Amino acid sequence: MTDSRHVVILGSGPAGLTAAIYTARANLAPLVLEGEPSSSGDQPGGQLMLTTEIENYPGFVEGIQGPELMSNFRAQAARFGADLIQEKATRVDISQRPFRIWTGDPSAPEPSYVADALIVATGAQSLMLDLPSEHRLLGHGLSTCATCDGFFFKGQEIGVVGGGDSALEEAIFLTKFAEKVTVVVRRDELRASKIMQERAFKNERIEFLWHHVVMDLRGEARLEGIEVENVQSGAKAVLLVTGLFVAIGHRPNTDLFVDLLDMDEAGYLRTQPGRSITNVEGVFASGDAQDHVYRQAITAAGSGCMAAIDAERWLESVGAHHAPPT
Amino acid sequence: MGANTRTLTDSTFDEEVKSADGAVVVDFWAEWCGPCKLIAPVLDEIAEEHAGKVTIAKLDVDANPEIARRFDVMSIPTLIVFKDGEPQKRLVGAKGKGQLLEELADFL
């Protein structure tokens, strides 16, 4: 049977759960489709579930662990009556209102849920290298989750690909276990924040391999090395590492909305400047699914709040706020 | 942890996995692993719903590194399905219930 709601929120990272707290406090009884477990950032709680210490989220003087922060967000949303379900939307129909949302079998005749307003907060997930060898070696030396798998590389030499905050956070974390961490960076500078750069440069177990990209992975049953190429000289080399962690950027989890919502070439949802309003009336977008500029926990939370307020005002304007859900 | 979910250690692993009737799904996990925690309740549900056919058994890799090393576990969560003590199938990474049931269908 189809379940009718005023507001359905897709995603349960900082954006989705902040939207849930605000819409719940507005008596809109939101339903949050949290997503399903995975070992990428596309999972209940979002990317922070794969991190360790969060030092820049205001209000936590000594910092807080990412998973703990998300567990607090969730408890706060539940406290005000948000309904949180560990399901992932597999299809949406936003061509008419109420919007229709499927979980499970996307070809089922009837949707699982219908909603007057929809808040998209599906976040982003890490990009992979897109190499054929990647599939074979995932879980056998190649990892998407440093906090999960760092432990297995005690005393070994490993690599991290990427030059942003995530790459350096992973590299620094991994030096707790690994003997040596080589960070492979395409350019000769890092995108990461100054504080992370300073920490990484000071760390004696971290080395940088500038101007290099990963061309292929070596090893059949387990990773034995990576083939790298100097982007300036074209010189090739092999780095003998037993572990590789990839942090080369993110892509938004917006596949569900291709051809349904306006998005840029990279798949980020387009909203009105400074608002959460998409090109479909009643659909609001927030967090990393929409923001390719800031991508912080605090900005995601802020934009989830904006989406909740935009949704509440819109529901009021169409007179759906006080009526039972359609 | 669910009533139908067992706990294994380095010293109990061999006996428990060999003596079990039906398939044993060993969940290699650790306290620090976020995705492991997400699938734990899902595995408890599967243990409950398929009691008698499949045993879900948890092995903490931090406290029991020997078995993790024996099966070359380098990423968690990893699920290895055993039958008559022999590994039959390996699943790496957290997955939702639907996908887990699909992957484990042959053993349920």
- Residue of B45, B61, B73, B75 to mutate for A, most A C-beta atoms under 10 A: B75
Q: Average pLDDT of B72-92? A: 95
Edge-first strand order for the sheet with A212-218 is A212-218, A225-230, A236-239
The band of A2, judged by pLDDT with boundaries at 50, 70 and 90, is confident
Q: What is the pLDDT of residue A326?
A: 60
Which residue did the predictor score with more confidence, B108 or A162?
A162
Taking residues A210-227, report their average pLDDT. 97
**For A41-56, what is each residue's pLDDT tens digit?**
889 999 999 888 899 9
Provide ipTM, 2 decimals: 0.88
A13 HSE (CA, 13 A, CB side): 32
Among all chains, which residue has been given the structure tokens 């067992």? B6
pLDDT tens digit sequence for A137-176: 999 999 988 999 999 999 999 999 999 999 999 999 999 9
Query: What span, in angstroms and rounded, lies between the C-alpha atoms of A214 and B43?
Result: 37
For residue A280, give the amino acid letter.
V
Which residue, among A10, A2, A3, has the nearest Cα to A283 in the 3D structure? Answer: A10
What span, in angstroms and rounded, lies between the C-alpha atoms of B86 and B4? 21
Does A37 sit within 8 Å of B95, measured CB to CB? yes
With a cut of 70, say whether residue B97 has pLDDT above it: yes
Helix (H) or strand (E) holding B58: strand B54-60
Q: For the segment A106-139, what is each residue's pLDDT rounded down to a tens digit?
A: 999 999 999 999 999 999 998 999 999 998 999 9
Q: Which stretches of chain B sit within 8 Å of chain A by CB?
A: 30, 32-39, 42, 61-62, 68, 72-78, 92-99
Strand, coil or helix: what is A279?
A: coil
The answer to whether residues A134 and A217 touch, using CB atoms and an 8 Å cutoff, is: yes
Nearest CA in chain B to A152: B74
pLDDT tops 90 at residue A1? no
**Cβ separation B38–A144 shorter than 8 A:** no
pLDDT of residue A137: 94
Q: What is the pTM of this model?
A: 0.90
Q: How confident is the model at residue A321 (pLDDT cuts 50, 70, 90)?
A: low
pLDDT digits (tens, 9 = 90+) for B10-67: 999 999 999 888 899 999 999 989 899 999 999 999 999 998 899 999 999 999 999 9
- Residue given tokens 């360790």 in the structure block: A52
Of A138, A147, A151, the CB nearest to B34: A147
* pLDDT score at A200: 98
Cβ under 8 Å to B: A residues 166-205: none
